[in-house]
A and B are shown apart, each in its own frame.
Chain A
Amino acid sequence: MSAAIGNTIVSLPDQSTAQIPKRNYINNEHGLLSWLLTGDHKRIAILYLISITFFFFIGGAFAGLIRLELLTPQPDLVAADTYNKFFTMHGIIMVFLFLVPSVPATLGNFLIPIMLGAKDLAFPKINLLSWYLYLVGGGLTLGALVLGGVDTGWTFTTPLSTHYLNTHVITAATAIFIAGFSSIFTGLNFIVTIHRMRCPGMTWFRMPLFVWSHYAASLLMVLGTPVLAITLVLVALERLFGIGVFDPAKGGDPLLFQHLFWFYSHPAVYIMILPGMGVISEVISTFSRKRVFGYTAVAFSSVAIALFGFFVWEHHMFIMGVSNYSALVFSLLTMLVAVPSAIKIFNWAFTLQKGSITFETPMLYAFGFMGLFTIGGLTGVFLGSLGMDIHLTETYFIVAHFHFVMVGGMLMAFLAGVHFWWPKMTGRMYPESLSKLAAVTTFIGFNLTFLPQFILGYLGMPRRYHAYPPEFQVLNVLSTAGATVLGVGYMLPMLYLAWSLKYGAIAGNNPWQATGLEWQIQSPPLTENFIEIPIMDHEAYDYEWLENKTKNEVTTVG
């Protein structure tokens, strides 16, 4: 163990003879149209990766503006209504255009068919359509932004969104409606692929946990997103025709909107986090050279999260006048969701135990995920308890809580996954020491940004205001300083990953000595992934199988 510290398992081919495979999915066809009209899941994943990165940095710019305004207690950078538009745009872009598609549409799209031993997803054209819908949704969101913005918050709370605001609510709602269908099609494609396209021998319990967590997330996408769609249709109709389905003055019920909206938007939180959990399972196993501890428990906990996730939505509405008894039930159910999440964290911890751990970049991000997600999850239990929630809800405590889960959890997992599979996607390695620096920077910046917000929230600073009492300034300055560090931490990967496309060391098939099917084929893969369809004769994470395989194998590259 002590000898392993500082060592790495990266096994790159001899760099003097190493070559990128002559034929692969990137150079199989040429020209812009061959990308824009492709049915290849790997190319669509790359298209998605580029577009979500674009929207991530736009959303991030708004986060920067928000933190800049909050640097001082006075409202000096922007007026209140502009500030409202900032956090609305930040929320809409980050939730619907980055977090929801982040891991599934990029890594999931790229890897699920390969992990199952299939040539492609079940419906390649629908997969492409999903990317175009995403672009239309993204374009409309930018349209709403350019035309003057939206200031409802990403939650479109009625009757504020339907009666009191004169901004581009309908444009933004249409954008989310369309982006929602992109997510439905991704989920549908995954479910059908996982059910029908597994290679011979690939039983359900031989699938990598990455696939299991995507399966659970896809169920949520398919069942939840349509409800959001119809809710937004109702908001748009109410705005257009002035009918009163959510308007108490006309007999409508604003709480109905809350029920419908959170019926999707709470499961959406699990749509965002579950695929990230799949990434973490793969990374932790690979860099501790051990089968994931309690594979079955981790697999079923994904499904359990998806199932429980549908029955907790009312915890967003505890202070909105719901009945005390139903609040009690939903509080209990909310705490139950912590159980499968904890099962995952404990199982990853046991996977690490006595493993041969190495500290490559993806592993650093995965450690970041485990710590930050645990804090985010536990503060969720605070918020799920009825008494605490009354004090903490609508304060910065909530902001800190969901940023710990979404940014500390999902974004860390996304970056872990992008680094982990980067050699497979591009055939080249990222620069290891620089990326370790980025991982550490991100971790420090993140904690500096969001830990003070827990205290701010506990002290009573409400969210969504552009000014605050002067005694909160120290903590806000810390938070803004942290956001700056965090910004650097996110810029770095974009720069060095782009650099590595041309100058990175050639990775070879299996630089991590990982067991997944995707690591047994060339990098970057062929358009149809496999030369012949594999037959799965061992379970996922079988390192003995890998050892026997590599022992008897002549490695040639190129």
Chain B
Amino acid sequence: MDSALATTDHADVHAEHDHVALPQHRHHFETEEQQREAGSFGMWLFLLTEIMFFGGLFFAYLLYRNWYYPAFAAASNQLSVPLGAFNTVVLISSGFCMAVGVWAAEMRRKSLLVLMLVLTTFFGLIFLGVKYDEYHEKYELHHIPGDSFNISMFTNPAGYGIKEEPLAPDMAQKTQIFFFLYFAMTGMHAVHMIIGIVLLFWLTWRAHRGDFSSGYVAPIENFGLYWHFVDIVWLFLFPLLYLINRHPLH
């Protein structure tokens, strides 16, 4: 009994000690536990709004893919699967580093945390670089939707050395809708990554300063949730946009 009581007392003292140790505790929360739970709950809710935000685009995709399947398949085949797959691996690596970073913060290992945040940023930047290259190629092929959009690659694939069935001009015109959705969805995803990378610079600087080395890990955890969410969006975008009608064995 005595020892049990002693342990509780010790735990109380410990909690009291933590309370003093963390300047991040906001005055309007009763306990740090409450603050931490509120923060992560808020982050999950925010991710829910993000799902609804992307949901509108996915809904448009669903509709037009059903209506204009041949155009979607032909246009999708002009995206580079190796680049897309490479980017998927890059983004998963980035997410892995982020996960290790959250662990490092919880273990209060400052240098490992900083290293992981830098690696997360690095992989994120590689992703964006590859994305830029893909966009640039589409620009040169006049596959950016708008007035300069060119459908000749889809009406006359043989002229470009592509082994595809040619599309009728009106269906070929619908590839523009595919490319619009491609740019809107991957572009919105890239905007989220850019925001994430800006936040990563800030977090890396704070981690380097030692803000997250004393048990206060909420910003790292919540950012981790955001970063993984952005990863997951890509995991849906990659098959939906790149792999509509690939037959590698034929």
A in complex with B: yes
A residues bordering B, Cβ < 8 Å? 118-120, 122-124, 126, 184, 188-189, 191-193, 195-197, 222-227, 229-231, 233-234, 237, 241-245, 250-253, 256, 259-260, 528, 533
Q: Is B55 an interface residue (CB 8 A)?
A: yes
Out of A124, A188, A242, which one reaches B146, CB within 8 Å? A242
CB distance from B95 to the nearest CB of A (A): 23
What would 11 more interface pairs be, CB under 8 Å, given A126-B42, A230-B54, A260-B60?
A123-B38, A189-B42, A192-B38, A226-B53, A226-B56, A227-B53, A242-B146, A245-B177, A251-B177, A253-B63, A253-B64
Q: Is B68 an interface residue (CB 8 A)?
A: yes
Please determine whether A250 and B177 come into contact, CB atoms closer than 8 angstroms. yes
Cα distance, A533 to B180, chains bound together (Å): 54
Q: Is B166 an interface residue (CB 8 A)?
A: no
Please determine whether A234 and B63 come into contact, CB atoms closer than 8 angstroms. no
CB distance from B32 to the nearest CB of A (A): 13
Given contacts A196-B34, A196-B37, A243-B180, is CB(A222)–CB(B56) below 8 Å? no
Given contacts A243-B180, A244-B177, A533-B30, is CB(A192)–CB(B53) below 8 Å? no
Given contacts A118-B28, A197-B34, A533-B30, is CB(A223)–CB(B177) below 8 Å? no
Out of B28, B173, B176, which one reaches A528, CB within 8 Å? B28
Q: List 23 A-B contacts (CB under 8 A).
A: A120-B28, A124-B28, A184-B49, A188-B45, A191-B45, A192-B38, A192-B42, A223-B48, A225-B49, A229-B53, A230-B55, A230-B56, A230-B57, A233-B184, A233-B188, A234-B56, A242-B146, A243-B145, A243-B180, A253-B67, A256-B63, A528-B27, A528-B28
Chain B interface SS verdict (over half): helix
Please determine whether B68 and A251 come into contact, CB atoms closer than 8 angstroms. yes
Closest B residue, CB atoms, query A195: B41
Please determine whether B38 and A196 come into contact, CB atoms closer than 8 angstroms. yes
* Residue in A122, A227, A229, A237 whose Cβ sees the most chain B Cβ within 10 Å: A122
- What's the tally of chain B residues with a CB closer than 8 Å to chain A? 39
Cα distance, A137 to B177, chains bound together (Å): 30
Cα distance, A226 to B174, chains bound together (Å): 27
* Inter-chain contacts of B176 with A (CB < 8 A): 243-244, 250-251
Please determine whether B38 and A224 come into contact, CB atoms closer than 8 angstroms. no
Closest A residue, CB atoms, query B56: A230
CB distance from B10 to the nearest CB of A (A): 25
Cα distance, A184 to B177, chains bound together (Å): 30
- How many pairs of residues, A versus B, come closer than 8 Å at their CB atoms? 107
Please determine whether A250 and B173 come into contact, CB atoms closer than 8 angstroms. yes
Please determine whether B52 and A188 come into contact, CB atoms closer than 8 angstroms. no
Q: Is B147 an interface residue (CB 8 A)?
A: yes
Cα distance, A244 to B55, chains bound together (Å): 19
- B66-105 vs A, CB cutoff 8 Å, 1 = contact: the mask equals 0110000000000000000000000000000000000000
Cα distance, A189 to B39, chains bound together (Å): 10
Chain A interface SS verdict (over half): helix
* Residue in B30, B52, B63, B177 whose Cβ sees the most chain A Cβ within 10 Å: B52
* Inter-chain contacts of A193 with B (CB < 8 A): 38
* Inter-chain contacts of A124 with B (CB < 8 A): 26, 28
Please determine whether B180 and A251 come into contact, CB atoms closer than 8 angstroms. no
Please determine whether A245 and B28 come into contact, CB atoms closer than 8 angstroms. no
Q: Is B46 an interface residue (CB 8 A)?
A: yes
Please determine whether B59 and A222 come into contact, CB atoms closer than 8 angstroms. no
7 closest A-B pairs by beta carbon, nearest first, are A230-B56, A226-B53, A120-B28, A119-B28, A243-B145, A226-B52, A122-B38
Q: Is B50 an interface residue (CB 8 A)?
A: yes
Please determine whether B57 and A192 come into contact, CB atoms closer than 8 angstroms. no
Closest A residue, CB atoms, query B49: A226
Please determine whether B146 and A241 come into contact, CB atoms closer than 8 angstroms. yes
Cα distance, A488 to B51, chains bound together (Å): 45
CB distance from B201 to the nearest CB of A (A): 20
Out of A118, A123, A223, which one reaches B52, CB within 8 Å? A223
Closest A residue, CB atoms, query B59: A260
Given contacts A196-B41, A222-B45, is CB(A234)–CB(B60) below 8 Å? yes
Cα distance, A195 to B37, chains bound together (Å): 10
Please determine whether A227 and B55 come into contact, CB atoms closer than 8 angstroms. yes
Cα distance, A189 to B147, chains bound together (Å): 44
* Inter-chain contacts of B184 with A (CB < 8 A): 233-234, 237
CB distance from A127 to the nearest CB of B (A): 11
Given contacts A196-B37, A245-B177, is CB(A231)–CB(B56) below 8 Å? yes
* Inter-chain contacts of A245 with B (CB < 8 A): 60, 64, 177, 180-181
Closest B residue, CB atoms, query A252: B177
* Inter-chain contacts of A226 with B (CB < 8 A): 49-50, 52-53, 55-56
* Inter-chain contacts of A184 with B (CB < 8 A): 49
Please determine whether B53 and A230 come into contact, CB atoms closer than 8 angstroms. yes
CB distance from B176 to the nearest CB of A (A): 7
Please determine whether A192 and B45 come into contact, CB atoms closer than 8 angstroms. yes
Given contacts A124-B28, A188-B46, A253-B63, is CB(A227)–CB(B52) below 8 Å? yes
* Inter-chain contacts of B50 with A (CB < 8 A): 226
Please determine whether B49 and A223 come into contact, CB atoms closer than 8 angstroms. yes
Closest A residue, CB atoms, query B175: A251
* Inter-chain contacts of B45 with A (CB < 8 A): 188, 191-192, 222
CB distance from A314 to the nearest CB of B (A): 14
Cα distance, A189 to B49, chains bound together (Å): 13
* Inter-chain contacts of B177 with A (CB < 8 A): 243-245, 250-252
Closest A residue, CB atoms, query B177: A251
Please determine whether A224 and B41 come into contact, CB atoms closer than 8 angstroms. no
* Residue in A124, A189, A234 whose Cβ sees the most chain B Cβ within 10 Å: A234
Cα distance, A222 to B43, chains bound together (Å): 12
Cα distance, A136 to B57, chains bound together (Å): 26
Closest A residue, CB atoms, query B63: A256
* Inter-chain contacts of B53 with A (CB < 8 A): 226-227, 229-230
* Inter-chain contacts of A189 with B (CB < 8 A): 42
Cα distance, A226 to B37, chains bound together (Å): 24
